[in-house]
Amino acid sequence: MEVIIRSSREEAEKMTAAMLATAVETKPDCVLGLATGRTMEAVYAELARLHRDKGLDFSQVCTFNLDEYIGLAPDDPNSYRYYMQEKLFDHINIDPQRTYLPDGLSKDIKQEGPHYEAQIRYRGGIDLQLLGIGEDGHIGFNEPLSSFASRTRDVTLTPETIAQNSPMFQRPEDMPRRAFTMGVGTILEARRIVMLVTGAGKARVLAAAVEGPLAAIVPASALQFHQNAVVIVDAAAASELRMQEYYRWGFENDPRWEGYR
């Protein structure tokens, strides 16, 4: 796992978007794993700008989202399908048939996970997986104590996650208590992982995930297993990292990052 510290949230967001753009330019038919949430909004706005102003071509790209609420229709303003359409898909030239999310209205909840896994395999696996991190260390909706070998499945959300996400609903009490999520094991099979973390509110859990022990209580710590994972953070999120001076030195002296500095 590599940690890259940028001085501001905007720099961290732009670098994350640039890495996704490079993946698309390098492999036009790449498979991207995508995330939702406030952290990702600026990333998607930048990708839409690169498409509009620089001609970044998404016509052959395929995407798989991490998760979706159970019980929400695709046109529900709080569904993650709606979020993706509004924040990214409606602003780029991606084929709607190549954009996948779990079906929140699936009639067979226990089969939706295996079906989603089969779709990922059919498309050749995920080339680059974008992640955020929850305040309790979750990735996707893999809540604390999720198995590092878990696959896409239905899960019950924790009270902490409900408290964090329910204000986004017009009526917070309407937030679903269950969701589909890619498993930790599914995420770890991506060929490359980029996790974006910003803000002082994520500093403690970031330090636990990156520098703490491998522990199911912090699902994001599983990324320590991955051989090609990059964690991009702003200075506020990095404030509790013990090795932050080393991370800064590595970024400034590694020629691989020259184009991002």
Give the C-alpha separation, 113 to 117, whole Å: 6
Task: State yes or no: is 138 an active-site residue.
Answer: yes
Kindly name the residue from 68, 112, 127, 143 that is annotated as catalytic: 143
Q: Which residues pair with 196 in a beta bridge?
A: 232
Catalytic choice (13, 46, 51, 67) = 67
Q: Is the dihedral of CA 104, 106, 111, 114 positive or negative?
A: negative
Which are the contacts of 169, defined by CB distance < 8 A and separation ≥ 6?
A: 78, 175
Residue 90, exposed/middle/buried by CB under 10 A (0-12, 13-18, 19+)? exposed
Out of 127, 138, 226, 234, the active site residue is 138
DSSP lists the bridge partners of residue 62 as: 31
Catalytic, 41? Answer no
Catalytic residue (one of 41, 136, 160, 189): 136
95 is catalytic: no
Burial of 155 (C-beta count, 10 Å sphere; 0-12/13-18/19+): buried
DSSP code of residue 157: P
Active site residue 143: yes
Residues catalogued as catalytic: 67, 136, 138, 143
